[in-house]
């Protein structure tokens, strides 16, 4: 029995995040008022068969009706896993008629990284991230972190050669912290949820159809 008002404001208090861009599945849920939890599973190739069951078990005791929005890691990462998470998030958001926030895998890692000196006069830090890609290339990005307002994208997630990335960093005008991003990123699902919540608080309500994956590379061909 559901006697909630049409807009669901009495129950839609939680945000749910999915991270399937690497073999390590990450799920997080929070009402941003003291009730938060996340969990990871190293599923590898069983992600396709086990994702739904883990999701159903993880969300309890909350229900789908408790969700105000969904967040999902959009990549970069593995092609199949990223696509699966995006399809799941879009489908749930469409069925529940709630927003879905697509968050960069690299941005989530940057958000969770503790600030290291030197900071600029505004207390900000540029964080450069690099992540292995296919065919000897890598993904690179640079973000500026502000604990109150979130992230500012200074150089967007881009796939490039190692030489091009080194040239980019060599010409970077500000001090930066370099992070080498690995292949097990399920724990950064909390960063995906945090960044989505910052946008939510600012009034953003993206439609499920606007959530798109970032692959960077074709999974097979070089172009």
Q: Which residues contact 69 (CB under 8 A, 6 or more apart)?
A: 15, 16, 93, 98, 99, 100, 101, 196, 200, 205
Which CATH code for domain 14-105+184-210?
3.30.420.40
What are the pLDDT digits (tens) for 76-95?
A: 998 999 999 999 999 999 99
- Identical fold for domains 14-105+184-210 and 106-180, yes or no, is yes
pLDDT of 9 = 41
All structural domains of the chain with their residue ranges = 14-105+184-210, 106-180
pLDDT of 184 = 85
Give the largest Cα separation in the chain, rounded.
Answer: 61
pLDDT of 4 = 36
Report how far residue 127's alpha carbon sits from residue 129's, in angstroms, rounded to the nearest whole number. 6
Are 87 and 208 in contact by the 8 Å Cβ rule? The answer is: no
pLDDT of 11 = 53
Give this prediction's pTM: 0.86
Averaged pLDDT for residues 203-221: 82
So what's the architecture of 106-180 in CATH?
A: 2-Layer Sandwich (3.30)
pLDDT interval class at 66 (50, 70, 90): very high
What are the pLDDT digits (tens) for 8-27?
A: 344 569 999 999 998 899 99
Asked if pLDDT for residue 195 goes beyond 80, the answer is yes
Please give the structure tokens belonging to residue 153. Answer: 């994208």
Asked if pLDDT for residue 3 goes beyond 50, the answer is no
Give the chain's mean pLDDT: 87
């Amino acid at each position: 029995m559901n006697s909630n008002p049409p807009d669901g404001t009495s129950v839609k208090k939680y945000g749910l995040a999915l991270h399937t861009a690497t073999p390590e599945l990450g799920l997080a849920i929070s009402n941003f008022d003291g009730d938060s939890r996340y969990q990871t599973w190293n599923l590898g190739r069983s992600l396709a068969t086990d994702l739904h069951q883990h999701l159903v078990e993880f969300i309890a005791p909350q229900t789908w009706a408790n969700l105000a929005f969904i967040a999902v890691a959009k990549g970069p990462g593995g092609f199949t896993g990223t696509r699966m998470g995006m399809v799941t998030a879009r489908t749930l958001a469409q069925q529940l008629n709630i927003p879905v926030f697509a968050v960069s895998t690299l941005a989530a890692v940057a958000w969770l990284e503790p600030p290291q000196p030197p900071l600029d006069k505004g207390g900000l830090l540029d964080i450069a991230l690099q992540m292995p890609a296919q065919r000897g290339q890598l993904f690179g990005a640079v973000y500026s972190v502000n604990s109150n307002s979130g992230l500012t994208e200074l150089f967007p997630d881009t796939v490039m050669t190692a030489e091009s990335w080194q040239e980019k960093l060599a010409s970077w005008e500000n001090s930066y912290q370099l992070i080498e991003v690995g292949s097990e990123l399920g724990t950064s699902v909390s960063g995906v949820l945090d960044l989505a919540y910052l946008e939510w608080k600012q009034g953003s309500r993206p439609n499920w159809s606007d959530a798109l994956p970032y692959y960077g590379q074709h999974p097979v061909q070089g172009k």
